[in-house]
Structure 1
Amino acid sequence: MSFSGRKDALAMLSLAAGAIGTSPLFAGFPLAPFMASAYCGAGWLTWQTTRSFRNRHIDATLKEGFVIKSDPVYIEDEDDSLLFGVTTDNHEQLRVKNSFMARHSAIIGQSGVGKTVFAEFLLWSQVARGGGYVFLDPKLDAGQKSRMAHMAKITGREEEFYVINVNEPHNSNTYNPILFGDPDEVASRLMNLVPSTEGNAGADHYKQTATYALTVIVAALQVANKLYTFGDLSIILQSSQAIERLIRLVPESGEKRSLEIFVDQFRKRTKNGSEIDTERMKTALGGMAGRIAMFAQGKFGAVFNTVTPEVNLFEIIRDKKMLYVQLPTMGKDIAALNLGKMVVSDLRSACAMLQELDEHLRPNPPCMVLLDEFNSIVMEGVARLFEQARSASVALLPAFQSFGGLRKVSPDFAEQIIQNTWNKIFFKFGSKEAEEAAELLGKTYGYIKSLSISESESSGAQLLRTDPNATDSDGYGVGESWRQQEEFRFEPDKIKALSIGEAFVMVGARAFHIKTPMVVFPDNLPPHKVIKHYVPLPHNKTPLEFEKLYKSLLIGGGDAANSDEKSKDKGDGSGIAENKSEEVKPVNLKGAA
């Protein structure tokens, strides 16, 4: 028998005190007998009081308040593991070590049953031990943000806490996810904003054209050492004058040749040589330009349209900092979906960069990435993130309500996510998907007892008899048999009947019935006020600032052809031309090349 809890401890303490009071050491002490009897009496009363607790049994037949036997828990070092909860049968701590956390954890259950509270406790444990996290929260809950800020503050880490909140740009850090990474990575992030074109050859053609355009444009900008924003890219994709100006900014290189070859497909012959057909370019790239422009306008622009962003996701993860991202899914569902996709795409690039580091330079403990309401931000390609993030020391925690939402991406998407999550935490289900959850939790072998009872009675008489009595007989039999059969470890009805904060957990092959912990915060937490961080311009790089010239570049009122010769140096090395009203003359770039 294992002893645990306050009542058991009091009983054992009383018995020990009684034994000490009757020891020879206290011989001759007048109160020793009274002490011994009092302590023994207290011990006996405590023992009796705890009888129901000690004689508790596992009852899985109850509709509510049931207890199901758990597998043996892992005995882990507290410094190398996280607490998931306490088992309902033996009240033992279920701790999951860091290497298992890095294999990802799926948190599943209907709304309001404790998923976010449980995840909040995991994040608190992570902050308290000096780890970092990224939290994508689609609820836009001001209280949640204050609680996350409070965690950082009471652990002395408020300077490491960053917030992205497009609903309140004045109370948000800045972020430009397209400024970092190689051209292919940046183009991939942006193309994740476009819905799948599989099965539509025409749409796929324009998607491939936009992908190539973004790749060569970003490569040219990087070779020219120019810092750019969403607004700059949007103008380049729509303006022939902006493209011409960019070509002149790029030094002779393979990237410049690739850009010129791409632009050549949009050129048309004129009497003065050739010029870019703006209408053809807008037809091919205008849709992508519109999607990019969303991040350059209004509240989104105040957060994203910068060349000195405070948030660099790779550095956040590597340096074990904390990032809380609020997604306005209720009021701006399309914009929030695009923002979530952008962050997840940036996360993929960050993981790729982390994989290139030596193992001792990767975050330890693993950085936790909580993807709350995962159904609202799922997209193609995110399954690959689950396959490779472990080697980057990034632990993903997708939290969602149903498997059906994941299948909207593709029929086998839910299977890919479940396949790549080592830990599965099932809270209360309210639908028939509880059967699918029960299947995931596994089956075991049980025995069914069958009892058969038989009774018989007969009588008869002989035609010629010497005995006056007739022949009478009766019989009685009892048969018992046991049959082995496969059954669910946790029945679907039990998954539907879980209480709030109660869950079935699967860690590898072991299954547990636990009660999850929660963090209790002080009442009336003060509203969070963002801490701004000064970020200087990188050395030898200057802003592109095409957005400041949008009137001349988009409307055609400026001298884009000769702006390099007529520009006045602002003193920052940017070489931005002043706005002129002279007529624009087309340039024959083929001849110049």
Structure 2
Amino acid sequence: MSDQQFMAAMGTIALGIGALAVWKNEQYLKELLVINFEKIGMVGYAVFAGIMFLLSRKYKSWTREFSQRTRLLSKLWSDRSSVYVGETLDDGEVYIPDRVRTGHVQIIGATGRGKTDSVVLPWFMQDLARGKSAVLIDGKGEHALLERIERYAEPINTKVISFDLGHVEKSAATNPLMMGTAQQITDRIFAAFEFEDPFYKAVQYEITGFVVQGLIESNEVVTFKRLYEVLTEDEKLSELAGKAKSVQARLARWLSESKKDREQKLAGIVSQLGPFAQGEIASFVNGPVEGREFFSLAEMLTVSEEKKKEMSEGKNLAVVILLPTLLYQEIAFKLGKMFLQETAWAVAARREKSFTPIFLDEFSSFVYPGFNSILNKARSSGIALHLSHQSLGDLEQVSKDFAKAVNTNTNVKCLLGLNDPDTADFFAKHIGTKGEEKITERGKRGGFFSPRERTGDVSIREVEAYKVHPNRLKNYMSGEGVIQFALPEGTIVEEIKFHRLPAEPA
């Protein structure tokens, strides 16, 4: 017989003896109850009050977390400068204010978990509906995304300008070299292109800088095409040297070298400018073109709201840039870096600090190491960056330090199903732990047929447990996940069902 069976038998015997004793002394017990009725009542009341007090304390302990959640979330329900995120698992509404989003948003989820449909697109369209201008750069380059945005934009008085590398015939035109000083434009070019030989890079950087300076001094707009012409045609270079007095002497010395030597020294920059100046995409990356809409990302991010309304015919302005990095692996990557360089310039040049969201979907396909400087400085300029990618490994392809910097400089985390175990472990630790009671029960060896038996002895101790376990982060269905962000009153960590737009606009 086991200990549990023995104790059960003893309890049954004791219960029987107790019942027999009550039956034998029934009259005496009745008299005792009548004589001491008031005392028994007072004792009973005291016991009842004690039980209720303990229950109330336990209830407060049980509801403390819920009360704190409600207090934090309720502060956002009446904030008009917010977007609707979704519902918690217990049907509470979650909003996130613009002031929090300017701390930048990191959106992470494996393929098919709903990053675009559950966060990027709903927030983008809500911003436009609230009268904000917004930018979306998509590293997948899906034309279907543009078509959805255009449908949703019609009822909310929004003009959509699209740069679509996959559909050249329909794309708006742009010029990534339009804004900035000679030095800034030269830096933009050399940050986007890659050079192997440091000596030739230095020579090319110097000559390109002088040419850009000469073009600006001559009141010309710098374009890839014009830059390519001046660097490859002596006649064009001589003509520019004659007009730009500040660089005339340096360009004349350059022209005095043999053409063969000059071509060799400039081979790297010329070969990389070629596709932008003469290739398939040259027709819409060199400034305004008749029959096409034109936009400058740098200009759009730096002009006043009134000027934006004027540019968009009194409507809200949405700029959608599609970069199919699988179709155009080199060109899309370089163009993506150019657009990020324009954004960096705008962050520094911005005078009006109005809230402007920029969404970078699958941004790891076109990011560059210097992007961290934008994250550090964009917060104070009113630009809210939303960075969407699949795992930490995407960022570590740039460098581990880069991945760490992105995680550190994004104050809002949206996690939508993380297939990668390392990524799930990292973000479970990032979200943090909470104290909870852990109950353990002792066991002992049993007999041949029962190798282990329960003793009934338990121990209760305080332990630290994940707020959201890594396994839970890995198992979210599409559109489900966690959002984390900080408010002055505390940090919000909520498992939610993210809000999705309807299949068709209302």
Indicate whether the TM-score tops 0.5: yes
Measured in 1, the distance between the counterparts of 2:439 and 2:195 equals 55
Answering whether residue 424 of structure 2 is matched by residue 434 of structure 1, we say yes
Corresponding residue of 1:185: 184
* 1:149 CA drift (Å): 1.4
Q: What residue is the counterpart of 1:513 in the other structure?
A: 495
Question: C-alpha distance in 2, partners of 1:87/1:263?
Answer: 69
Alpha carbons 1:316, 1:322 under 8 Å: kept = no
User: For 1:79, what is the secondary structure of its paired residue?
Assistant: coil
CA 1:101–1:396: 2 relative to 1, 3 Å = same
Q: Check conservation: 2:173, 2:288, Cα contact below 8 A.
A: no
Aligned position for 2:439: 449
Counterpart amino acid of 2:328? K
Alignment of 1:220 with 2:214, yes or no, is yes
Q: Does structure 2 retain, via aligned residues, the 8 Å contact 1:83–1:96?
A: yes
Q: Deviations 1:110-169 (Å, cap 9, x if unpaired)? A: 0111100121000111011001111111223222111111232211223xx211123333
SS of residue paired to 1:444: strand
Counterpart position of 2:106: 106
Q: Distance in 2 between matches of 1:70 and 1:436?
A: 26
- Whether the 8 Å CA contact 1:235–1:289 is kept in 2: the answer is no
Report whether the alignment pairs 1:493 with 2:471: yes
Cα 1:310/1:177, change in 2 over 3 Å: same
Tell me, in whole angstroms, the C-alpha distance in 2 between the residues paired with 1:69 and 1:440: 23
TM-score of the superposition, structure 1-length normalised?
0.65
Q: 1:99 Cα deviation (Å)? A: 0.7
Out of 258, 261, 269, the position equivalent to 1:277 is: 258
Alpha-carbon offset, residue 390 of structure 1: 1.2
* Greater percentage in helix: 2
**Matching residue within 308, 323, 330 for 2:326:** 330
Aligned to 2:274: 293
CA distance in 1, matches of 2:455, 2:145: 68
Secondary structure in 1 aligned to 2:280? helix
Residues 307 and 452 of structure 1: CA distance in aligned 2, closer, same or farther (over 3 Å): closer
Determine whether 1:316 maps to 2:300.
yes
Q: Is the 8 A contact 2:176 2:342 kept in 1?
A: yes
Please list the CA deviations of residues 356-410 of structure 1 after superposition, one character each: whole Å capped at 9, or x if unmatched. x1xxx332xx211111111101112111111111111111011000111111112
Maintained 8 Å contact 2:143/2:322: no
Matched ranges for 1:387-466 at <5 A: 387-432=376-421, 433-452=423-442
In structure 2, relative to structure 1, the CA distance for the partners of 1:190 and 1:223 (3 Å cut) is same
Q: Percent identity?
A: 22
Determine whether 1:155 maps to 2:156.
yes
SS of 2:494's equivalent in the other structure is strand
Q: Contact (CA 8 Å) 1:296, 1:305: kept in 2 or not? A: yes
Count of matched residue pairs: 411
SS at structure 2 position matched to 1:227? coil
Distance in 1 separating the partners of 2:201 and 2:353: 35
Give the residue type in structure 1 aligned to 2:102. Answer: A
Equivalent pair of 1:206/1:284 in contact (CA under 8 Å): yes
Q: Is the 8 A contact 2:152 2:504 kept in 1?
A: no
Task: Give the CA RMSD over aligned residues.
Answer: 2.7
CA distance in 1, matches of 2:106, 2:479: 16
Contact 1:136 1:326 in 2 (8 A): yes
Pick closer, same or farther for the CA change 1:219–1:148 going to 2, 3 Å.
Answer: same
Q: Distance in 2 between matches of 1:206 and 1:263?
A: 19
> Which amino acid is the alignment partner of residue 321 of structure 2?
V
TM-aligned CA deviation for residue 478 of structure 1: 5.9
Which residue in the other structure is 1:55 paired with?
A: none
Give the structure 2 partner of residue 207 of structure 1.
Answer: 201
Amino acid at match of 2:173: T
Write the letter of the residue equivalent to 2:299.
Answer: E
Q: Deviations over 1:169-208 (max 9, x none)?
A: 33122101112111122112111222376xxxxx223223
Distance 1:162 1:307, change over 3 A: closer
Cα separation, partners in 2 of 1:151 and 1:304, compared to 1, 3 Å: same
TM-score of the superposed pair, with normalisation by structure 2? 0.76
Unaligned runs of 5+ in 2: 1-61, 309-316, 446-453
Residue type of the partner of 1:285? L
Matches of 2:84 and 2:364 in 1, distance apart? 26
Task: Pick from 284, 293, 301 the counterpart of residue 303 of structure 1.
Answer: 284
Distance 1:71 1:150 in 2: 37
2:370 matched to 1:386? no
SS at match of 1:330: coil
Ranges in structure 1 where 5+ consecutive residues have no aligned partner? 1-57, 59-67, 198-202, 268-274, 456-475, 526-593
Report the Cα distance in structure 1 between the residues aligned to 2:479 and 2:67, rounded to whole angstroms: 18
